[in-house]
Structure 1
């Protein structure tokens, strides 16, 4: 069995276990612990197999970007895990008491991702993974370049708006805007490119 096949099997099993546990178990510390461990396992596997996944040498700067974002995501998962365990309802939710902290963390994540987004190598595991972005490398590049451009303004607007509006609405609108605009733009690009190739 190839290393890449084993990586896919491990990631598929951990993802399925996370889904099943998320739907079946009641909200408890045990569920959060299991989900956190499975997420960490997935991210560690991705990190260890980074150069094989993106089909580039270990010293390639794009592999370093992939590994950096993967480790950054691992840090965010661990932070969410700690926040969930420390909250009374075992969830990471935005309340009036913590909305500046949560929106601030979301904004920091977006800005960090923005800086590295255009450098993410074409892959199926990390980045804006949509049917059209994982089929065409040029579409992938367009989508991630646009994410890079949008991230700073959206993150700053989100943070400022969190002082005046409900944190949940600010967070949802900010994340949806951050994802939907590059998704639609990259789909239009892919569709036009596909028509041009036929």
Structure 2
């Protein structure tokens, strides 16, 4: 009998609740707090069960990378939450000048994540989680290797383009490219690999 993955079930339920609550709940501080709380709970569970989720030993360096990125995500969530709900900072966040601060922070996060991406162990919860990357470890490794290569140039392009183009447009394009390039390349690799296995 197959062992039930409690960690996966809890994280999946929390993710589903985030999507449902974020979609149907009214836009207020309580709704935002519930969504952030569910996200943090999922991240804490992932942090505790990192070795089990990735099927690696506690001493494996990839577990440290996984936990580092997970904790960084938690700090970003908490920091953004606190800045958003505090009345004194809410007005500051609405100022156009602060768009550059946000772009700078996002660019730094892309570089940090990209630098660590090739070290993220094969798992279903953290990283570039696409239907084909979570089904095959070689595809996962390739996708995250490419993610590592393109992160620095994309972060620099995003930062520089913010001075010349509309920030929302340039940032959206750069973030989409950051996901689409490794996603598309890894999909082609996965498709060819599966086609080769069936031949």
Normalised by the length of structure 2, the TM-score is 0.91
TM-superposed deviation, 1:87 = 6.9
- Alpha-carbon distance in 1 for matches of 2:133, 2:194: 12
Change beyond 3 A, Cα 1:28–1:174: same
Give 1:107's aligned residue: 107
Q: Note the residue ranges of structure 1 that are not aligned, 5 or more in a row.
A: none
Once the two structures are superposed, the pairs formed by residues 53-64 of structure 1 within 5 Å of their partners are 53-64=53-64
Cα distance in 2 for partners of 1:83, 1:196 equals 51
Helix, strand or coil at the partner of 2:56: coil
Native 8 Å contact 1:128 1:143 kept in 2: yes
* Structure 1: distance between partners of 2:174 and 2:98: 17
Deviations along 1:114-150, one digit per CA (max 9) or x if unpaired, are: 1110011001001111111111111111100000000
- Residues of 2 paired with 1:87 and 1:119: CA distance? 39
RMSD: 2.1
Structure-2 residue corresponding to 1:171: 171
1:68 match: 68
TM-score with structure 1 setting the length: 0.92
Quick check: 160-169 or 149-158, which moved more?
160-169
- Give the equivalent residue in structure 1 for 2:121: 121
Larger deviation: 158-167 or 118-127? 158-167
2:34 alignment counterpart = 34
1:18 partnered with 2:8? no
Instruction: Show structure 1 runs of 4+ deviating over 6 A.
Output: none
Query: Contact 1:66/1:121 (CA < 8 Å) preserved in 2?
Result: yes
Unaligned runs of 5+ residues in structure 2 are none
